[in-house]
Structures are given as C-alpha cells and as structure tokens.
Chain A
C-alpha cells in the first residue's frame, strides 16, 4: 500500500490510541504521587516523588464505617468468581439443550430470551429489587450473583459454541448406552474448554464492574463491593480530596480486569464476535 495512505492511518489511529490509554497512565502516575503533586499545571506524567505506600493506605485504612477497601475487594472477588462459575455451568447446560435437541417453539424461546439483551437493565431495577426482597436476599452478596448466573447473552454464547460440536459424538455415546446427563458431563462439557474461558471471563468482567445493582440491594458496608467503595470516595465525605488515594483505589479496581484481558484478549474478542452474530 502506498505511503500517504499509511501515514494517514497512523495520523488517526495513534492519537485515538493515546486518548484511550492516557487516562490510565495519568491514573497510575497519580496513584504513586504525593497529594500535592497530583493536580498540577502543567501536567506531571511522572511522579516527582514516588510514594507507593498510597496503595497500602487506600487498601487498609478502615475509613468506611470501620471497614476498608480490602474487605470490598474480597467481596468483589467472591461475587465475580461465584457468578462466573455458576454461569459457566448453567449456560453450557442450557445452551446444550438449545443447540442439540429439536422441539416445538425452541427457536422462539431462544429468541425471546435473547431479546432481553435489548432491554436496559436499569429499566427493570425496581421490580427486580422487589423480587430480591421477596426472596429475602436484600443486603446479601448472593443477590449480586444469582440473577446474573444465567442471562440471554451467556445462553446464546454457549449455544453458538456447542452448535459447532459434531452431533455424531452424542449419537455414538448414546449407542454405547450413556445417559443424556452423562453425555453432557462426560462428552460435551470437556470439549468446551475455550468456550468456558470466554464465557467465564465475560461474566467475570460484567460482575466485577457492576455498580447500580449493588448500590440498590446492598446497604451495610460489610457487604460492599469495590465500585461501591470507590463511589463513596468520590462523594467526598470519607476521603475528601485525597486524590492520590482515589487514584490508588481506582488502579486497584481496574487492575484485575486489565491483567486478565491482556492474557485473554483472543477468547474475549471471539466472545464479542459470537455475540454480534458474526461467528457460528
């Protein structure tokens, strides 16, 4: 390709890539600064004095009614892992039903479940809150796990992956006398390695980054997740203008998803493509 075209590509792509990444670099830099170095004109991209103890202070100081960010971090990890595990098991189970069995109005049912992804979650948050209250799960971490352990998206994702497995495998197992549940556990599930990584990671991201729902169902700080703790900082009352600590906390919150993403970029992109209907 000719040079001017390539130069034009870089002239657009490089500034946008910088725009994407600079807020993270600034955050990381500010998280290592002394408070007086955080907001300066001109912007200091490299801390003049390094202060890594900000992280310990942000993580361990019990500023939230006696609890610290480390408690919230443990809660976040528990919720995200539990949701991902449940989602992997449940969605592959259900996805297998949709992919490999034919029955009346199966596709209509799948389409109906998939259409829930076209409705914004925040529009059903009030009645959902009432249902969680009826189930007695208010102010309980399981309220953040159960409703998201099986979603239209995760079912569709699992179904698309299972469709690609040859049905002959299932028939062969039947001839050998295996039961239907046994076939799922022994034959199908072990073949879903890459799909499980994709599904698990996408659910992990969703769960880890959730904010509105925990804000609605959790009330005691012992149960708070990381984003809730961070939002309390932003409201100013607990941390006031300790911007260096805000940024240390924000860095701690974005680090797990970013690290996982750098390792799992390929399965994640594959998942996005599957959800958009581009890969069978």
Chain B
C-alpha cells in the first residue's frame, strides 16, 4: 500500500517533469495562436496599426463575401476530387501490392512512394512544364498518341481545367502515402478470415467486400480524415501551378488567408477566415473522431 502511494507520487512528479516541454510547446504554438486568432477575428485591424473591437462584424462580412464563397467552393472542389481520387487509387494499389510473391512488388512500392518524400515546390516546377500548352511534356505525349487537337489545352490557364490540373498534381504527390497505410492495414488482417470465406464458396470480390473492407474500416477512416485535412490545408500546389487563378477558380482557403493577411494586411478579416477554416476542419475531424480513437487505442 505504501509502495503504491510512493509510486503514484513519483509518477506524477517525474511524469510531469518529462512531459513539461510538450506543455510549453503546446501552449505557445497551438493554444496561444488559436486564442489570438479568436481575439483578432473580433477586431477591425490593419497590420501595423492598432485594432478596434467590432464584435462579429468580420464573420458576418465573410458570410456575404462572394470571394470567400468562391474560396470555400474552390477548396471543397479540389479537396473532394483529390481525396476521392487518391483514396480509390491507393486502395486499389494497396490491394494489388498485398502479395508477397509478386515479382517486382517491392520496387513498384518504392517507385510509388517517391513523390511523397520530395517537396511541392521542386515537383511543382516540373508539373508547370508538364502542363505547358503546345510545348509541354503532356502536349508531347498527346502528339505521340495522335491527339494533336489536345496539345493546346491551357491546363493551368483555363477556368474549367485548372482545378483538375491541381488535383492531378495532388493525387500524384500523395497517393503513395495512403497506399502504404492501406497496405499496412491489409497486412494486419489475418489471412484465415478471407481464406475461410473462400473455402465456404465466396468469390474473391465477395470476400473483399464482405470481409476485408469492413475490417479495414478504422484505417479507411484514418486515411479519409488525414487526407481531407491535409488537402484542405495545401497552399503549395496552387501557389506553384495557378497562383489562385484563373478568375478565382483555384483560390483555395490557404491562398485566400495568405493574400488577405500578407498582401492586403487585413489582419482581423484574415483571422476570422482562419477561425472558420479551423472550425470546418475540426467539424470534419470530430465527425469521424470515434472511429479514429478506436484505431489509435485498440
């Protein structure tokens, strides 16, 4: 009994001692910024000048600002397309790679991850040249395939195509990451389960849909939430390919925030937009939090 009390005390004392750096970091770089953002979002504040308290005016202005609307629309369009594309592709690739006897499997896995470890700016320069009309790499490939009429497509300069150019770049860059996670998820499912179903007369597709997919659910939710939040927060692919244009078609929320604050110096307004952005991502994360917690703490 006395031993236990001594250990409880020791654990509390040294536990807090060891985690103390994280408390400082957490307060300084997460709690404080969020509180500051909340505070500034209630002020009219031009960067470099003192602000004045104006209540929820920034929020009501944002809700009626057509540019903010277009920004949310661009973010959601690009994110939903990119997340759907990446998830479907990475699940397919993971299922196909989940075969230890596949010759060249390891090499293909390595090649698929390469884009993940490199940076958005360097690869963005390459994709700029890939998408260049008439003389770019894609135009060259179209010409090789005899599709000469497609060579002049202005991938990054046409309103309808620009979001797709960005989605293609994002899918190329991130699919490898989620393939690895799905692959690890598939490997954690005991083989006997699907084998038993196959013995009982199910075909491979039925076994996959009825056994593998439900068992994969926690990891699917993890991938969905991670991919959604990561893609919503992306600034680089848009900055590198279109800069937000043409006519706001790709002016996603991070670009909107950046421009409102660092170019137009509208501190209060940008903070309010940041808070709404946070709430949007938090809401999505909370919707899936239960399954997530399950996957972390099982």
- Chain A positions within 8 Å of B, measured between CB atoms, are 1, 6, 9, 12-14, 16-17, 19-21, 23-24, 26-27, 30, 38-43, 90, 93-94, 96-98, 101-104, 106, 109, 111-116, 118-131, 147, 149-151, 155, 180, 184, 205, 208-209, 211-212, 216, 227, 230-231, 233-234, 243, 246-247, 249-251, 253-254, 257-258, 260-262, 265, 268-269, 272-273, 276-279
Q: Are A126 and B97 in contact (CB under 8 A)?
A: no
* Chain B residues in 8 Å Cβ range of A249: 122, 125
Known A20-B114, A43-B140, A122-B257; judge A131-B229 contact (CB<8 A).
Answer: no
Contact of B184 among A12, A122, A268, A276 (CB under 8 A): A276
CA distance A30 to B130 in the complex (A): 12
* Chain A residues in 8 Å Cβ range of B202: none
Q: Are B33 and A41 in contact (CB under 8 A)?
A: no
Main secondary structure of the interface of B (DSSP, over half): helix
Q: Which of B79-101 contact A (CB under 8 A)?
A: 89, 92-93, 96-97, 99, 101
Q: Are A121 and B233 in contact (CB under 8 A)?
A: yes
Does B137 touch A at the CB level, under 8 Å?
Answer: yes
Contact of A13 among B33, B37, B97, B180 (CB under 8 A): B97
Closest B residue, CB atoms, query A23: B126
CA distance A210 to B279 in the complex (A): 24
- Chain B positions within 8 Å of A, measured between CB atoms, are 8, 10-12, 14-19, 21-23, 25-26, 28-30, 32-37, 40, 89, 92-93, 96-97, 99, 101-102, 105, 107-108, 110-115, 117-130, 132, 134-137, 139-141, 143-144, 151, 172, 175-177, 180-181, 184-185, 188, 218-219, 222-223, 225, 229-230, 232-236, 239-240, 253-254, 257-258, 261-262, 267, 270-271, 274, 277-278, 281-282, 285, 293, 295-296, 298
Contact of B229 among A39, A103, A119, A258 (CB under 8 A): A119
Contact of B22 among A147, A155, A234 (CB under 8 A): A155
CA distance A251 to B278 in the complex (A): 35
Task: Please give me the 3 A-B residue pairs with the lowest Cβ-Cβ distance, nearest first.
Answer: A120-B233, A97-B18, A101-B15
Q: Are B125 and A126 in contact (CB under 8 A)?
A: no
Q: Are A101 and B11 in contact (CB under 8 A)?
A: yes
Q: Are A253 and B281 in contact (CB under 8 A)?
A: no
* Chain B residues in 8 Å Cβ range of A184: 18
CB of A207 to closest CB in B, whole Å: 10
CB of A218 to closest CB in B, whole Å: 12
Q: Are A123 and B18 in contact (CB under 8 A)?
A: no
Main secondary structure of the interface of A (DSSP, over half): helix
Q: Are A24 and B114 in contact (CB under 8 A)?
A: yes
Q: Are A250 and B122 in contact (CB under 8 A)?
A: yes
Contact of A103 among B11, B253, B295 (CB under 8 A): B11
Interchain Cβ contacts under 8 Å between A and B, 10 examples:
A20-B115, A90-B21, A93-B21, A101-B15, A125-B274, A127-B32, A127-B35, A127-B37, A212-B258, A268-B117
Q: Are B18 and A101 in contact (CB under 8 A)?
A: yes
* Chain B residues in 8 Å Cβ range of A227: 119-122
Q: Are B126 and A118 in contact (CB under 8 A)?
A: no
Closest A residue, CB atoms, query B134: A41
Closest A residue, CB atoms, query B288: A118
CA distance A41 to B282 in the complex (A): 47
Q: Are A253 and B121 in contact (CB under 8 A)?
A: yes
Q: Are A209 and B119 in contact (CB under 8 A)?
A: yes
CA distance A258 to B115 in the complex (A): 9
CA distance A43 to B222 in the complex (A): 40
Contact of A126 among B89, B121, B274, B281 (CB under 8 A): B274
* Chain B residues in 8 Å Cβ range of A130: 33, 36
Q: Are A21 and B15 in contact (CB under 8 A)?
A: no
CA distance A262 to B113 in the complex (A): 10
* Chain B residues in 8 Å Cβ range of A247: 125-126, 129
Interface centre among B97, B129, B230, by most A CB within 10 Å? Answer: B129
Interface centre among B11, B128, B143, by most A CB within 10 Å? Answer: B11
Q: Are A127 and B18 in contact (CB under 8 A)?
A: no
CA distance A233 to B121 in the complex (A): 10
* Chain B residues in 8 Å Cβ range of A180: 10, 14, 17
Contact of B119 among A93, A101, A126, A253 (CB under 8 A): A253
Known A116-B30, A126-B267, A155-B22; judge A41-B257 contact (CB<8 A).
Answer: no
Interface centre among B93, B97, B117, B141, by most A CB within 10 Å? Answer: B117
Closest B residue, CB atoms, query A174: B10
Closest B residue, CB atoms, query A253: B122
CA distance A150 to B21 in the complex (A): 8
Closest A residue, CB atoms, query B23: A109
* Chain A residues in 8 Å Cβ range of B22: 90, 94, 97, 113, 150, 155
CA distance A146 to B119 in the complex (A): 21
CA distance A101 to B19 in the complex (A): 10
* Chain B residues in 8 Å Cβ range of A205: 117
Apart from A17-B107, A253-B122, A272-B177, 14 more pairs, CB < 8 Å: A101-B11, A120-B230, A120-B232, A123-B233, A130-B33, A149-B25, A227-B120, A234-B121, A234-B124, A249-B122, A253-B118, A272-B181, A276-B222, A276-B295
CA distance A1 to B26 in the complex (A): 51
